[in-house]
Amino acid sequence: MVVLVTGATGQLGQALKAAAPVHNNIQFYFAGSAEADVTNAQSLHDIFDKIKPQYCINTAAYTAVDKAESEPEKAHAVNVAGAANIARTCKAFNTVLIHISTDFVFDGTKKTPYNEDDTTNPQSVYGTTKRDGEIEIQKIIEQYYVVRTSWVYSQYGSNFMKTMLRLAAERSSLSVVNDQVGTPTNANSLANTLIAIIAYNAANKANPKFGTYHFSDEGQCSWYDFAKKIFEVNKITIDLRPITTKAYPTPAKRPAYSVLNKQKIKTSFAISIPDWQDSLENNIEKDRVN
């Protein structure tokens, strides 16, 4: 089985690359934007024609949440037009598309975990383009999985965990928002889940269960709680202070609550999901080993 991973230089792409060697029955092909540019239909056609993948995991995205407010055209080009390009290419080559989306498609006003069929109402350019990308995919192709996730971090790339560790090395005190609640997601957990979906389908070809799914690690916390745990497991002493969103204004509005209900993905694919705190500890331990 051949699986193409687009956006391979991002943290999820790198997590998939790290997980790939133990899956001998899958031939992964990792492509960055230079080789598989989702904004260029011909670029996609060429690589699909070259490797003829059965699956494409599309991790390519414009993810600079605040910058997107001043660069809406760039965000749209990747997250909407790019999603449509890859969906059309997958359809032309009879390839199953696994597309990564986000909790930012919701407005954050709910008080209980969001289900897949809850009404989307993004409050930022980033969230809007990711929602519109989902819509394009659903219009173009039937063989798709849209997997929404949240607060992704890892030992790879740029993310909240690495930012906190960097700032802790530079400062004696930090203030972190305490009134936005969600779930940190280890990119390695997400990578393993995407591979598990492919493995499930290989064993259950008559019942592929296409559609939209939610995945994050289990549990919930605020950004302050997340930072506190990061410093705790790294044995870092720092003056950490909780602040409100109003005290830390950003160009893009974040959901106040974006916990995702994972029951559908757990039931559909027999997936076991770790608690976010366990995932964090495992990630940091893996980073120490590496």
Active site residues: 126
What span, in angstroms and rounded, lies between the C-alpha atoms of 279 and 90? 32
Cβ(120)–Cβ(212) under 8 Å? no
**Tokens at 268, concatenated:** 């559909």
What Å distances lie between residue 121 and 52, 111, 246, CA to CA?
Answer: 36, 15, 21
Contacts of 48 (CB under 8 A, 6+ apart): 4, 56, 89, 90, 92, 93, 95
Give how far Cα 254 sits from Cα of 108, 148, 181, 230, 258, Å.
8, 16, 10, 21, 9
Structure tokens at 102: 């986000």
Which amino acid is it at 80?
V
- Nearest CA-CA partner of 15 in 217, 250, 286: 286
4, 43 contact by CB (below 8 A): no
